[in-house]
């Protein structure tokens, strides 16, 4: 249980859902963890739930000044930033992409693709360029398929998949950059996809017969953050119960 002993991780959107699942697993593996999310009360509750060497700072991931303050706080508190998890995302629009209004389109781009670039730039400049590190971008299986409901969100995740490849090619060998593309995970964020009876139908259509849990993604993140994946970079690992495989 000490795969990440001595490491420091920063997890955006770490107060609930997939981000919380990752933060918990990292802490169990011995890492010091900084949780970042918009609401202080959510951050505080998550840190108390996890226990151990966990700190938190409230911030909007799409706001450059907040991003810099959170990275600086991590370095001041822990003295390092070995692992950055770009997990925070937004999906303010549901429906055909052709119908999205410009403000919601721009918000989706700002949080889901500009945000990960910004946070990675800061981590690189302030710590990883000199010391090395590991970046994990939380994408979505939707980045590989079309959708009549969340097409705009999926487009940003497809872009994030390529950003992962691009940054991996630029930041190696000192920094590895990989992604995880979850399928339907039973979080509040994805409630639209599994609530009101839709979850059972979706689960039955999957080769593995169940929806994902935050802990499932936490295990994949631990693999990518640890030395077990030391020869892997530029990849986005799909963890979706087989949804994409069946779609193909």
Q: How confident is the model at residue 198 (pLDDT cuts 50, 70, 90)?
A: low
Fold of 8-247: Rossmann fold (3.40.50)
SS3 at position 175: strand
Dump pLDDT digits (tens) for 109-149.
Answer: 999 999 999 999 999 999 999 999 999 999 999 999 999 98
Half-sphere exposure of 205 (CA within 13 A, CB side): 14
pTM more than 0.85: yes
Q: What is the pLDDT of residues 29-78, one digit of tens each?
A: 999 999 999 999 999 999 999 999 999 999 999 999 999 999 999 999 99
Give pLDDT, residue 76.
Answer: 98
Q: Residue 192: what pLDDT?
A: 59
- Is 87 within 8 Å of 120 (Cβ atoms)? no
Q: Percentage of the chain with pLDDT > 70?
A: 95
Query: Residue 153 catalytic?
Result: yes
Which distant-in-sequence residues (6+ apart) come within 8 Å of 197 by Cβ? none
Beta bridge partners of 114: none
* Residues 6+ away with beta carbon under 8 Å from 35: 11, 14, 15, 19, 20, 23, 43, 46, 47, 50, 54, 55, 56, 57
**Cα–Cα distance measured from residue 196 to residue 226, given in angstroms and rounded to the nearest whole number:** 38
| H helix or E strand, kind and range, residue 203 | helix 198-204
Catalytic residue among 93, 127, 141, 153: 153
Model pLDDT, residue 246: 74
- The larger pLDDT score, comparing residue 46 to residue 197, is at 46
Distance, in Å, from the CA atom of 216 to the CA atom of 91, rounded to the nearest integer, reads: 22
């Amino acid at each position: 249980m000490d795969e990440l002993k001595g490491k420091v991780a920063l997890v955006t959107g770490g107060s609930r859902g997939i981000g919380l699942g990752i933060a918990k697993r990292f802490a169990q593996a011995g890492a010091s963890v900084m949780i970042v999310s918009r609401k202080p009360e959510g951050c505080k509750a998550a840190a108390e739930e996890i226990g151990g060497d966990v700190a938190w700072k409230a911030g909007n991931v799409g706001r450059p000044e907040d991003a810099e303050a959170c990275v600086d706080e991590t370095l001041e508190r822990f003295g390092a930033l070995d692992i950055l998890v770009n997990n925070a995302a937004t999906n303010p629009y549901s429906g055909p992409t052709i119908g999205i209004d410009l403000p919601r389109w721009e918000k989706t781009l700002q949080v889901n693709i500009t945000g990960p670039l910004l946070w990675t730039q800061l981590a690189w400049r302030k710590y990883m360029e000199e010391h090395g590190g590991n970046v994990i971008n939380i994408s979505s299986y939707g980045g590989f398929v079309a959708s009549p409901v969340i097409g705009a969100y999926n487009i940003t995740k497809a872009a994030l998949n390529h950003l992962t490849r691009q940054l991996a090619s630029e930041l190696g060998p000192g920094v590895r950059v990989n992604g995880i593309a979850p399928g339907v995970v039973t979080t509040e964020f994805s409630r639209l996809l599994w609530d009101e009876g839709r979850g059972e139908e979706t689960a039955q259509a999957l080769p593995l017969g169940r929806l994902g849990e935050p802990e499932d993604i936490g295990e994949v993140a631990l693999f990518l953050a640890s030395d077990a994946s030391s020869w892997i970079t530029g990849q986005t690992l799909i963890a979706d119960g087989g949804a994409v495989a069946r779609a193909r």
